[in-house]
Chain A
């Protein structure tokens, strides 16, 4: 298999960032800046990364930022989300927000 130059290095960098050390967001000292960083990071994640969203979101300390981020991600990824991952994601929210999250992720067929 032929690899593009530098692809191994990029993969290693991602492994270090995701699994073996603090992510760029976690390196930020101030809570608002760190929360904003996670917010931006999560909103950039694709539909297939629902488990990653559920993993990162609890690191957002401000509940307003955390809840808004989860609901915004759910709004933007109505189609094709893994049901188990979607349940885990919505379970991170308070009751009312969880219902809204579930409507967004599980009732997409109704909203079309």
Chain B
């Protein structure tokens, strides 16, 4: 039965490999193709899944990848992640939205993709963190804010973040303090009683004694 699954996987790869210009010819994939070494592990599901993930990067397009990865059970996420990583590294597919979509519902894959290839400004990135990498939202958004602080933060973005990033006021307050200290576009903590302003003022006081504050990452 398991050997049939492997044969079926190779067959699917062979069919899907035809719809991309310059793709590896189906016979090469089905015969001595990149998945062939995994046949010997078909009786050990974890080893088989890992092995396929090691070789899946050679598949030419998301459809071919999905048709293989979706049959691997708990290894589907690592399989998709391995394919996305391989495309990014090789440059074969560089569209970050396409690669993010290829992660499907797997947050590990999406978090790594978003962190490696941020899309749009800080607000767009935070929206994507929430949509695609929800379990890692705090880290994903924190990294986006770190990049923002050390790039060119604008006053408009700071104000938009106050409206958008409402569920973690202490985190936002700290980054606003950094942005205020490290840019000259008029970002201020504000003197209001709200939690963001308070956290910002607290962080601002802590940062005052740190000469390297704008290099903090």
Q: Which residues of A contact B (CB under 8 A)?
A: 32, 36, 39, 43, 64-65, 67-69, 71-72, 75, 96, 100, 103, 107, 110-112
Does B154 count as interface, using CB distance less than 8 angstroms?
Answer: no
Q: How far is the CB of A67 from chain B (nearest CB, A)?
A: 6
CA distance A100 to B40 in the complex (A): 24
The 9 residue pairs across chains A and B that have the minimum distance between CB atoms: A68-B50, A72-B46, A68-B47, A111-B135, A68-B46, A65-B47, A110-B136, A64-B51, A110-B135
List 12 contacting pairs A-B, 8 Å CB cutoff, sorted by A.
Answer: A32-B40, A36-B44, A39-B44, A39-B46, A64-B41, A64-B47, A64-B50, A72-B46, A72-B50, A103-B108, A110-B136, A110-B138
Does B184 count as interface, using CB distance less than 8 angstroms?
Answer: no
CB <8 Å contact, A71 and B139: no
The residues of A that contact B108 with a CB separation of less than 8 Å are 100, 103
Does B74 count as interface, using CB distance less than 8 angstroms?
Answer: yes
CA distance A75 to B115 in the complex (A): 22
Given A64-B51, A68-B41, A68-B47, 20 more A-B residue pairs with CB atoms under 8 Å apart are: A39-B46, A43-B46, A64-B50, A64-B54, A65-B44, A65-B47, A68-B44, A68-B46, A68-B50, A71-B46, A71-B50, A71-B78, A72-B46, A75-B74, A100-B78, A100-B108, A103-B108, A107-B136, A110-B138, A111-B107
CB <8 Å contact, A67 and B135: no
Within 8 A of A (CB), among B58-108: 74, 78, 85, 107-108
Q: How far is the CB of A103 from chain B (nearest CB, A)?
A: 6
Does B49 count as interface, using CB distance less than 8 angstroms?
Answer: yes
Smallest Cβ-Cβ distance to A99: which chain B residue: B112
Q: How far is the CB of B78 from chain A (nearest CB, A)?
A: 7
Main secondary structure of the interface of A (DSSP, over half): helix
Within 8 A of A (CB), among B104-137: 107-108, 135-136
The residues of A that contact B40 with a CB separation of less than 8 Å are 32
CA distance A65 to B45 in the complex (A): 11
The residues of A that contact B50 with a CB separation of less than 8 Å are 64, 67-68, 71-72
The residues of A that contact B74 with a CB separation of less than 8 Å are 75
CA distance A110 to B135 in the complex (A): 6
CA distance A67 to B37 in the complex (A): 15
CA distance A32 to B78 in the complex (A): 24
CB <8 Å contact, B85 and A96: yes
Smallest Cβ-Cβ distance to B133: which chain A residue: A110
CA distance A69 to B135 in the complex (A): 25
The residues of B that contact A72 with a CB separation of less than 8 Å are 46, 50
CA distance A112 to B46 in the complex (A): 22
